[in-house]
C-alpha cells in the first residue's frame, strides 16, 4: 500500500515512511459472518522523546474485522471481530482501517535505548523547585486542631 495514502500516519513520523506491506484474507466463519483479517508491516522513523534524534523502528499491526450495516450491527458480532462500517455503496474502505491500526501500533513514547541515546539519562537535570513549592503544608494547621 502506498505510504502517500496514509496522511495521518505520515504526519506523526520524523520522516516519510516506506510503502506498507499488507496481507489480507477474506472469508466466512462458522456462523456465516463475513470477515477479513490481515497484518500490516512498515519501518518508520520517529523522533526520540529524550534527544529529538530520529529513531528507526518496525511497526506491525494485526487485525480482524467484520463489515456491519443496518442488518448486521456491531452488537451482533462476536467480541473477536472489530466492526468495519460500510459506506453508502456497501464497500469497506481498507486504507483508513489499516492506517488506524498502524497508528495504534506506534509506541506511546518513542525513545532510543539508553546506551544508544545522544543524551545520558544520568546527566539530565530537571531544575530546582521554586521557593513557593517549599512552603509548609497548609493542612498542618488542621493536624494541630485535630490533636
Computed from CA positions of residues 12, 17, 19, 21, in that sequence, does the dihedral angle turn out positive or negative? negative
C-alpha span between 14 and 4 (Å, rounded): 15
Q: Could you tell me the strand order of the sheet in which 82-85 lies?
A: 21-28, 34-47, 54-68, 82-85
pTM reported for the whole predicted model: 0.76
Written as tens digits, the pLDDT of the chain (147 aa) is: 999 889 999 999 999 898 999 999 999 999 988 999 999 999 999 999 888 899 999 999 999 999 998 877 888 888 999 999 988 888 999 999 999 999 999 999 998 888 888 877 666 666 666 666 666 777 777 877 877
**pLDDT the model gives residue 89:** 87
Q: What angle is formed at CA 41 by the lines to CA 35 and CA 43, rounded to 5 degrees?
A: 160
- Domain enclosing residue 61, as ranges: 3-146
**pLDDT the model gives residue 6:** 92
DSSP letter assigned to residue 47: E
**pLDDT the model gives residue 117:** 83
Domain total in the chain: 1
Amino acid at each position: 500500500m502506498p505510504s502517500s495514502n496514509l496522511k495521518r500516519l505520515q504526519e506523526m513520523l520524523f520522516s516519510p515512511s516506506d510503502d506498507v506491506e499488507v496481507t489480507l484474507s477474506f472469508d466466512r466463519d462458522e456462523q456465516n459472518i463475513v470477515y477479513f483479517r490481515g497484518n500490516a508491516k512498515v519501518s518508520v522513523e520517529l523522533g526520540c522523546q529524550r534527544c529529538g534524534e530520529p529513531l528507526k523502528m518496525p511497526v506491525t499491526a494485526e487485525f480482524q474485522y467484520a463489515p456491519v450495516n443496518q442488518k448486521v450491527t456491531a452488537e451482533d458480532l462476536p467480541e473477536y471481530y472489530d466492526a468495519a462500517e460500510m459506506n453508502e455503496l456497501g464497500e469497506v474502505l481498507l486504507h483508513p482501517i489499516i492506517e488506524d491500526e498502524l497508528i495504534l501500533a506506534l509506541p506511546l513514547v518513542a525513545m532510543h535505548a539508553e546506551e544508544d541515546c545522544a543524551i545520558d539519562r544520568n546527566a539530565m537535570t530537571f531544575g530546582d523547585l521554586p521557593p513557593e513549592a517549599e512552603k509548609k503544608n497548609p493542612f498542618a494547621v488542621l493536624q494541630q486542631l485535630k490533636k
